[in-house]
Structure 1
Amino acid sequence: MHTENSTGPIWINVGEASGDLHGAELIKRFQEIAPETSFIGMGGPAMEAAGLDVHFSMKLISLVGITEIFGGLPRILKLLGQIKRELTSIRPRAIILVDCPEFNFRIAKIAKKLNIPVYYYISPQIWAWRSGRANFLRDHVRKVICILPFEKQFYQKYGMDVDYVGHPLMDVLPLEQLDALPVDTHKIGLLPGSRNKEVSTLLPEFAGAAQLLHTAHPHLHYVMVQAPGMDKKRLLSDWPKDIPVEIIGPETRYETFRSCQCIIAASGTVTLETALIGTPVQVAYKVSLLSEFIGRLLVNVDFISLPNLIAGHEIYPEHIQKDACAETLAKSVSRWLDDQTEYDRVKKELTALRTMVGTPGAPLRAARIIEHDLTELGR
């Protein structure tokens, strides 16, 4: 077995804000157990701060929906060509892929041809749709490291080498401090997404819901959490002038989530962050009609948000496609504001959910698994 790159860098590939956060934690833990390891690849500000030498910004691939990806295809193919040239010339010690399967599967394919071992951390949610892609993973990835309790069994069915490490959010969230913070019963949070497409689709509906809520609940005030890289002016352009809104940067988002009575959010990792923090959320999700059509043929889960998937039943109401509209969202939020029993029931469910996602230490466990395997490989 080759040993010439046993001191070479590890390439990490990340495509969105949540992956950037998890990638950063993994890098930090790696540096604890193997301080000589260096990291290069594609990421964002959190990974760069943790020590990643960013060769490509993750902003280059933040797309949403199947048909939206088709629109950006020429740019993506060009980018893949550039990454292939870098990998060929650098020959990293290993490649770690974090979520983002539409792009990262192509990196796995390149790595296989170059004989570079691949590890998948934050395993892609292929159990949700197009499960047949598990065969691709089995053939192209040495180890899948999963973070949700039900994923291990799914991957094992396909004969894959899989480890369950628990959810890395348990390390990222300062839960003890957050639990001590008060909740403002007049504050509603807004999380319209981290991609332009999501924001332009969902924010006008969130704004419409706020206008409808204003009549029965004039004392409500709104706080919008700005995703990394999202322009503040862009967010305000879709918000009505007559309803005050505070825009908060991503640095204090967890404290903001905790301070809200409830939140209206785009589907994504934030639904699990808010659930672990204990704040009830109305989940909204909208894609193009073609994406919806293809999705309906391929999706094989009952829910789209992680808290509901982990619990196995609905905790957070999900408003999908035409239901992700101002009227439905306002009605659903009103139910929580007007019915304390229903609101308390959701809060209780969220307390139970926290016990289902593993103990802190997931990034360290993942780093140890990868480092141990690479040592065994002689890399």
Structure 2
Amino acid sequence: MGKKIWINAGETSGDLHGGKLMEAIAAIAPDTEFCGMGGQEMRAKGLDAVLRVEDLSVMGFTEVFGKLFDILKMLRKIKHELAQRKPDAVILIDAPEFNFRVAKYAYNLGIPVYYYISPKLWAWRTGRAKFIAKHVKRLFSILPFEVEFYRQFNMEIDYIGNPLVDVIDWASIDHITPEKNKIGILPGSRKKEIEALMPQFSRAASIMVQENPELEFHCIQAPGISQERLRELWTSPVPLQIHSPENRYSFMRSCLMLIAASGTVTLESALVGTPTLITYQLSKLTFFLGTKIIKVPYVGLPNLIMNREVFPELLQEDANGDVVAQRALAWINTTGKLDAIRKDLEVLRSKVGKPGAANRAAKLIIEDLSK
């Protein structure tokens, strides 16, 4: 009889990876049943979605309070469903603030917990590593530098490579050359970050077009975010073309450069090979609290992997239209600068591992459950 697996993604990037992992598990054990919390990708792969990832789209300490009632309701629902369904395993994908509670429920019910895309505890909250050591049976890491950090807590951790290597169809994009005046805008997938950054990106566009009227601005629409809302937040008279997310890697590759919200998308843009300005704005309180406990020199994944600043990080006050425009124009106007960054990104691509991350994790999970 097939195994029943509860799989929990807390955001859209986790949904993408969750879909690939479900596909890989189903290829090895076709009679596996999946239930849990996911988005479009996971539902398309046969997830019995008790909860939708689209309903949990918050970030930061203070931002969470606005949705606290909804979050607690979702957690109560998961606790109830785990007790009723008694799955053979729980797989958690990233989103530690939410998923740690799910890990505790599963552990208390005696259900083994696997963490796919291990939480970034090395960046902050290292004290919570003890929680994982107790509640999680096995961790799967997608960033090469994480393994050493987690092993000091005597955890079972496997570096499986980065699943983005599988998601990106290299053969279909590597021949694409950047278009001279095409600037890509990636304002994020969470409402709060889009509302903070989109007006600043539109101001940057106004400034950049004054110096170079031939520049064109293109935006990728994240799942669950309407074109209407993006246009409302684009306050510049400069035209903005909006594209659906389906062919986003070809889109990224075709851009001269990108201006993006910090997150998984900046690692995607690095792997695709397009120079990117990383931006982020949080509430003043969240940022203040973050500076007190975050223990890493960078926020951008490409910079953390390379252990140096490959992509500039424009955070808080620096994530404003004037600074963004100034940095973008400096790149565009410096001969050879963008080409040099693209060369650097080839090194980064070689560091993230070979294809097959989801397959390796699926094999280890199924082997573990068969013991």
Q: Same fold (TM over 0.5)?
A: yes
Deviation larger for 348-357 or 334-343: 334-343
Shift of 1:72: 1.5
Matching residue within 264, 283, 286 for 2:281: 286
Shift of 1:340: 2.2
Q: Which runs of 5+ in 2 are unaligned?
A: none
**3-state DSSP of counterpart to 2:188:** coil
Correspondence for 2:335 = 340
Correspondence for 1:199 = 194
Please give the per-residue CA displacement for 1:98-128, whole angstroms capped at 9, x wherever unaligned.
0000000000010111110000001111111
Matching residue within 258, 272, 290 for 1:295: 290
Structure 2 residue 270 is matched with structure 1 residue 275 = yes
Structure 2 residue 4 is matched with structure 1 residue 22 = no
Shift of 1:71: 2.2
Correspondence for 2:115 = 120
Equivalent residues, number: 371
Whole-angstrom CA distance in 2 between matches of 1:181 and 1:29: 29
Whole-angstrom CA distance in 2 between matches of 1:38 and 1:180: 39
Shift of 1:88: 0.5
Whole-angstrom CA distance in 1 between matches of 2:8 and 2:26: 17
Whole-angstrom CA distance in 1 between matches of 2:325 and 2:349: 27
Correspondence for 1:189 = 184
Matching residue within 39, 63, 68 for 1:68: 63
Give the TM-score of the pair, scaled to structure 1: 0.96
Whole-angstrom CA distance in 2 between matches of 1:130 and 1:182: 42
Please give the per-residue CA displacement for 1:115-152, whole angstroms capped at 9, x wherever unaligned.
10000001111111111111110000000000110111
Matching residue within 246, 253, 259 for 1:258: 253
Correspondence for 2:164 = 169
Please give the per-residue CA displacement for 1:320-343, whole angstroms capped at 9, x wherever unaligned.
110001111001100111012222
Whole-angstrom CA distance in 1 between matches of 2:254 and 2:137: 42
Shift of 1:50: 1.4
**3-state DSSP of counterpart to 2:183:** strand
Query: Is the contact made by 1:7 and 1:93 (CA closer than 8 Å) also made in structure 2?
Result: no
Whole-angstrom CA distance in 2 between matches of 1:167 and 1:79: 29
Whole-angstrom CA distance in 2 between matches of 1:7 and 1:33: 11
Query: Is the contact made by 2:2 and 2:29 (CA closer than 8 Å) also made in structure 1?
Result: no
Structure 2 residue 304 is matched with structure 1 residue 309 = yes
Shift of 1:255: 1.0
**Identity of paired residues, percent?**
47
Shift of 1:32: 0.9
Correspondence for 2:36 = 41
Shift of 1:317: 0.4
Q: Structure 1 runs of 4+ off > 4 angstroms? A: none
For residue 370 of structure 1, what is the amino acid of its counterpart?
I
Give the TM-score of the pair, scaled to structure 2: 0.99
Whole-angstrom CA distance in 1 between matches of 2:115 and 2:24: 16
Query: Is the contact made by 1:202 and 1:266 (CA closer than 8 Å) also made in structure 2?
Result: yes
Shift of 1:348: 1.1
Deviation larger for 349-358 or 6-15: 6-15
